[in-house]
Amino acid sequence: MNEIYLQALLGGALIGSASILLMLTLGKIAGISGIVFESLRPGSTDKGWRWSFVIGLICAPLITQMFGFSLPSNIEAPLLTLGIGGLLVGIGTKIGSGCTSGHGICGIGRLSKRSIAATLTFMLTAFGTVTVLNHLV
């Protein structure tokens, strides 16, 4: 098998392990959008682990780069585009109650109908958007 697919499976397995560990210990869904939202929402009662999760998430590449896995050196998009994109993702995941991690891994992993529907919806929408922008415009 192509090496990149093995790498993807291994990375995916790590993501799955992190998510199931969070479920097993704290009973929480490892949804990045939800964790970030609750870490910033005034009045949220369990901010501690959410903040440390986000810090861990951001610091992880510092450790993996010692083993040759690093962040892409440059991202070919203007900062404004990234900002608008990020904002839209944030609004969408709030309305849809979850993102790729929360719905895609934790939700499908619990065979939640709502999460399967959400994942299909955002995947199909994204396939459509990219197809229109790359091939039809």
Partner 1 sequence: MKQILIGLVTGLLFGAGLTISTMVDPQRVLAFLDIFGNWDPTLAFVMGGGLMVYLPIYYGVVINVRPHFSRHLVIYPVIR
Write out the residues near partner 1 by the rule CB under 8 A: 4-5, 7-27, 29-30, 32, 46, 48-61, 63-65, 69-72, 75-77, 97, 100-101, 104-106, 108-112, 114, 126-127, 129-131, 134-135
| Residue 80 Cβ vs partner 1, minimum distance, rounded to whole Å | 15
- What's the closest the beta carbon of residue 79 comes to partner 1, in angstroms? 13
Count the neighbouring beta carbons within 10 Å of the beta carbon of residue 102: 23
16/92 with CB nearer partner 1: 16
Work out how close the CB of 45 gets to partner 1 at its nearest, in angstroms, rounded to a whole number: 12
The single residue listed with the structure tokens 């993102």 is 99
Residue indicated by tokens 């501690």: 48
Name the residue nearer to partner 1 (CB basis): 88 or 130. Answer: 130
Q: Which is nearer to partner 1, 36 or 42 (CB)?
A: 36
For partner 1, the closer of residues 32 and 92 by Cβ is: 32
Query: CA 43 → CA 10, 49, 119, distances in Å?
Result: 37, 15, 29
Distance, CA of 22 to CA of 24 (rounded, Å): 6
Tell me the closest approach of the beta carbon of residue 37 to partner 1, in angstroms: 11
DSSP one-letter string for 16-72: HHHHHHHHHHH-----HHHHHHHHHSTT-S-HHHHHHHHHHHHHHHHHHGGGT----
